[in-house]
Amino acid sequence: MKRHTIANRFYSLILLLSMASYTALLGWLFAGLDGLIALSLSCLLVVTLNPTLSPHWLMSLYGAIPITPDRAPELYQLLLHIAQRSGLKTLPVLYRVPSSTLNAFTTGGQNHAAIALTDGLFGQLSLRELAGVLAHEASHIRNNDIWIMGLADLFSRGTSLLSLFGQLILLINLPFVLLTEARFNWPLVLLMIFAPYISALTQLALSRTREFDADLCAAEVTGDPRGLASALTKIEHAQYSLWERIFFPGGRDSAPSLLRTHPPTEERVKRLLELETDQSFQAMAYPELIDYRARLGDRVAKRPRRHITGLWF
C-alpha cells in the first residue's frame, strides 16, 4: 500500500515539475533570463496568495442544496468518522445535487471544503458504497488535490498564453521572413506550437494519478476496498442505458486513455480489489443510517446534463 502511494506521489511530483518546466522554457526562450525570473515571480505570487472561490458559490452553480447536520445527523456522523480517519482538521460541508446521475465532486481547500453528492448516489448506493465515495472525496481534500490541480491548470494556461503570444509574433514577422533571407528557428517554432498540447496531456496524466491515489487512500480509510470498487462499478454502469451497454460498449469513453481525466474504471476496480489481501487495513465501523434519505426531502429526478466544467450532473 505504502509503495503504491509513494510511487503515485512521486509520479505526480514529476508531472507537476514537467508542466512547470514547459512554462519556464517558453518564458526563457521568449524573454531570456529576465523573462524567466518575471514568470517565476508571478507564479510564486499566485501560489502564495492562493486565490480560491467560495465553495458555497461554486455549489450554487450546480443548484446544489446544503445538507445540514440537523437534517441528516447520521450522514454527518459517517462523514465525521471518515474525516477523523482521514486526518482532516475541518469537517467538509455536504451538498445535495438534484440530479438522477451518479456523481460526486469536491471544491474548496483543506480548511473550507465542500462535498457534493447527487440524488442518484443517495438512491442507488449502499451504505458501504457511499462510505467509499465519501472517503475518496475526503482523500482528495487531505491530499490537497484541488490545490495541486489548480496549480497544474495555472501552468497549463501560462504555457498556452506564451504559445499564443509567440505565434502572434510569428505571424507578424512572416512577411518580413518571406521577403528577406531571414530564417525561422524551426525547433523553437515547433516547441511553441506543441507545448500547450504536451502540457495538457501532462495535466490529464496528473489528474489520473491523483484519482488512483485517492482510491488507495479511501480504501485505507474505510478498510473496505470492495465497497469503493462496487460504487465505481455502479457509477460506470449508470452512465449507459441497457441498449448502450449491449450495442455500444464504451460509448462515452471512446476517447483514448491519454485524453481522460479519470483512469478507466476497470483499472481502478482491479487495483482496489488487489488491496483486499492487505492485512494492515482496519475495517471501519458504520453508524446506523436508517432513515436519513427520508429526511433529505423529495429527490428531484432531473435528466443528466453536462456542465461547462465537464462534469455530468
Question: What's residue 27's pLDDT?
Answer: 77
Cell numbers placing 311:
462534469
Terminal Cα distance for the chain, rounded? 32
Least confident of 47-61, 143-157, 251-265: 251-265
pLDDT, greater one: 102 or 285: 102
Question: What's residue 12's pLDDT?
Answer: 78
pLDDT, greater one: 258 or 250: 258
Rounded (10°) CA dihedral 27, 29, 30, 35: 40
Using one digit for the tens of pLDDT, what is the confidence trace for 83-112? 999 999 999 999 999 988 899 999 988 888
pLDDT at 277 over 50: yes
| 312 occurs within a structural domain | no
pLDDT, greater one: 69 or 2: 69
Confidence of residue 139 (pLDDT cuts 50, 70, 90): very high
Give percent of the chain with pLDDT exceeding 70: 78
| 311 occurs within a structural domain | no
Question: What's residue 246's pLDDT?
Answer: 47
Question: What's residue 301's pLDDT?
Answer: 52
| 313 occurs within a structural domain | no
Instruction: Tell me the average pLDDT across 182-202.
Output: 80
In terms of Cα–Cα distance, which of 24, 18, 36, 14 is closest to 158? 24
Instruction: Tell me the average pLDDT across 165-179.
Output: 78
> Long-range contacts: 145-151, Cβ < 8 Å, 24+?
145/210, 145/213, 145/214, 146/106, 146/107, 146/108, 146/109, 146/113, 147/50, 147/109, 148/12, 148/16, 148/206, 148/210, 149/203, 149/206, 149/207, 149/210, 151/16, 151/47
| 157 occurs within a structural domain | yes
Mean pLDDT of the chain: 80
Rounded (10°) CA dihedral 29, 31, 37, 40: -60
**Cα–Cα distance for residue pair 30/32, rounded to 1 Å:** 6
| 308 occurs within a structural domain | no
Give percent of the chain with pLDDT exceeding 90: 30
Q: Which domain holds residue 263?
A: 2-295
Confidence of residue 247 (pLDDT cuts 50, 70, 90): very low
Cell numbers placing 75:
450522514
pLDDT at 244 over 60: no
Confidence of residue 245 (pLDDT cuts 50, 70, 90): very low
Instruction: Tell me the average pLDDT across 165-181.
Output: 77
Question: What's residue 37's pLDDT?
Answer: 81
Please tell me the total number of residues recorded for the chain in this structure: 313
Cell numbers placing 141:
481534500
Cell numbers placing 265:
474504471
Instruction: Tell me the average pLDDT across 244-253.
Output: 48
| 300 occurs within a structural domain | no
Confidence of residue 243 (pLDDT cuts 50, 70, 90): very low
pLDDT at 155 over 60: yes
Least confident of 8-12, 107-111, 198-202, 286-290: 286-290
pLDDT, greater one: 6 or 206: 206
In terms of Cα–Cα distance, which of 301, 71, 29, 24 is closest to 189? 29
In terms of Cα–Cα distance, which of 174, 113, 117 is closest to 140? 113
- Give how many domains the chain has, as a whole number: 1
Residue 68: Cβ within 10 Å count: 11
| 234 occurs within a structural domain | yes
Q: Known catalytic residues?
A: 137
**Cα–Cα distance for residue pair 45/42, rounded to 1 Å:** 5
Q: What is the DSSP string of 37-67?
A: HHHHHHHHHHHHH-----HHHHHHHTT-EEE
| 305 occurs within a structural domain | no
